[in-house]
């Protein structure tokens, strides 16, 4: 999907159980959650995750995985090759993309806050500070500063009240739209150039009128972002290489 994005590897939560299954002669670890309505699996940079209802026996779950063994192994190998390349340690002098340009990280003693100045991201940090956390918070604030006026401008163009805006760290979506809660945008879009960001915003704003992907929806997207096809292609290309902070 155009709105897919893999995020960072995290340890399993307490609600997950780690199990192992043999697929194609390989021992594959997977996390299992028993609080889902249906049997499904997901592969991202954290590995293989399976969700299942409590009523589904373990044998049925592993039969399900075996039936998709080739796909599972292919995707696991694909992600294994990306993690090291995409992980970006934050330190003084590190460089990271913001709005399609490169900014340099500067670390200075301070009270654990981050802010942008020209083409630099300053992290005023205590000695034991988590620099990655400080950087994420600063990037999220910068994302809101950029997203909010673009959202307001596009909503006004279709004669719609500006919806509430929230940030997302979703694993698989760039954005979402709800008539009740408003629009959520993945904060990691801030790494991309303005055009693909505008495409995602236009996509979600169009959903305020058309909760589908029919012809009228795409015409509305086109009215908000005439070059949306090129922007969507850039999103697919560049979104797959976003740094992991």
CATH numbers and ranges of domains, the chain? 17-86 (no CATH), 131-239 (3.30.2010.10)
Percent of the chain surpassing pLDDT 70: 89
Q: Above 60 in pLDDT, residue 83?
A: no
DSSP assignment, residue 43?
Answer: E
The pLDDT of residue 170 is 77
pLDDT band at 172 (very low <50, low <70, confident <90, very high): low
Averaged pLDDT for residues 61-68: 95
In DSSP notation, 106-165 reads EEEESSSEEEEETTEEEEEE-TT--HHHHHHHHHHHHHHHHHHHHHHHHHHHTT-PPPPE
The pLDDT of residue 7 is 30
pLDDT band at 229 (very low <50, low <70, confident <90, very high): very high
Q: Above 70 in pLDDT, residue 45?
A: no
- Average pLDDT score, the chain: 88
CA angle 204, 224, 166 (to 5 degrees): 30
pLDDT band at 17 (very low <50, low <70, confident <90, very high): confident
- Let me know: does 239 contact 194? Beta carbons within 8 Å: no
Both tokens of 184, joined, read: 């959520």
The pLDDT of residue 72 is 93
Reported as type and span, the H/E element at residue 3 is none
- Let me know: does 114 contact 133? Beta carbons within 8 Å: no
Distance CA 88, CA 211 (A): 37
Q: What would the pLDDT profile of 130-161 be if each residue is shown by its tens digit?
A: 999 999 999 999 999 999 999 999 999 999 99
The pLDDT of residue 9 is 34
Distance CA 147, CA 204 (A): 12
Q: Above 60 in pLDDT, residue 65?
A: yes
Angle (deg, nearest 10), helices 131-157 and 215-224: 100
Q: Above 90 in pLDDT, residue 107?
A: yes
Q: Above 70 in pLDDT, residue 20?
A: yes
- Let me know: does 182 contact 230? Beta carbons within 8 Å: no
Averaged pLDDT for residues 10-28: 71
Question: At residue 222, what are phi and psi to the nearest 5 degrees?
Answer: -65, -35
Averaged pLDDT for residues 177-183: 90
The pLDDT of residue 19 is 87
Q: Above 70 in pLDDT, residue 69?
A: yes
């Amino acid at each position: 999907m155009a709105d897919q994005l893999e995020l960072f590897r995290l340890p399993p939560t307490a609600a997950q159980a780690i199990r192992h299954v043999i697929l194609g002669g390989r021992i594959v670890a997977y996390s299992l959650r028993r609080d889902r309505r249906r049997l499904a699996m997901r592969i991202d940079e954290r590995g293989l995750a399976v969700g299942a209802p409590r009523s589904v026996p373990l044998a049925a779950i592993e039969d399900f995985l075996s039936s998709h063994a080739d796909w599972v192994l292919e995707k696991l190998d694909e992600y294994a090759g990306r993690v090291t390349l995409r992980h970006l340690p934050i330190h003084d002098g590190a460089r990271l993309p913001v709005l399609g340009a490169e900014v340099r990280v500067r670390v200075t003693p301070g009270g654990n806050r981050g802010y942008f100045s020209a083409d630099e991201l300053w992290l005023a940090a205590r000695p034991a500070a988590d620099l990655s956390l400080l950087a994420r918070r600063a990037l999220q604030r910068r994302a809101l500063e950029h997203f909010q006026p673009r959202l307001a401008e596009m909503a006004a163009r279709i004669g719609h009240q500006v919806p509430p805006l929230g940030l997302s760290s979703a694993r698989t979506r760039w954005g979402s739209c709800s008539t009740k809660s408003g629009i959520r945008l993945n904060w990691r879009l801030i790494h991309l150039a303005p055009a693909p960001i505008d495409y995602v915003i236009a996509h979600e704003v169009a959903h305020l009128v058309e909760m589908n992907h029919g012809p009228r929806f795409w015409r509305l997207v086109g009215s908000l972002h005439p070059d949306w096809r090129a922007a969507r292609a850039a999103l697919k290309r560049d979104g797959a290489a976003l740094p992991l902070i």
